Amino acid sequence: MASVLDAADLDAVGRDLVVRSAQESGLYASSPVSGSLAARDDCLLALQVGGEPLAADHGAPLRLIAPNRPGVQQTKWVTRVEVA
């Protein structure tokens, strides 16, 4: 996530982010991420798992993987990241 924010020339520290899913409603449609978490090297927007592309049921094409969070907050089918 940090490299994506850097590429967009965004400093997320101290800001709130929301990762949005293609799932438009329900509990798993979005996940809040603090700016300090988003800046960590182990907060990922993952395309692969174990060197293989993500399968659709695991969140392909893009999934949030962030440390110290329950699995339900690891948003699948990511469509955008909003920075407030």
Phi and psi torsions of 4, nearest 5° = -65, -45
Phi and psi torsions of 2, nearest 5° = -60, -40
Q: In the chain, how long is the greatest CA-to-CA distance? A: 34
Q: Residue 80: what pLDDT?
A: 95
Q: Residue 26: what pLDDT?
A: 87
Q: Give per-residue pLDDT as tens, 8-64.
A: 998 888 899 999 999 989 888 999 999 999 999 999 999 999 999 999 999 999 999
Amino acid symbol at 4: V
Q: What is the pTM of this model?
A: 0.88
Q: Residue 71: what pLDDT?
A: 86
56/43 Cα distance (integer angstroms): 20
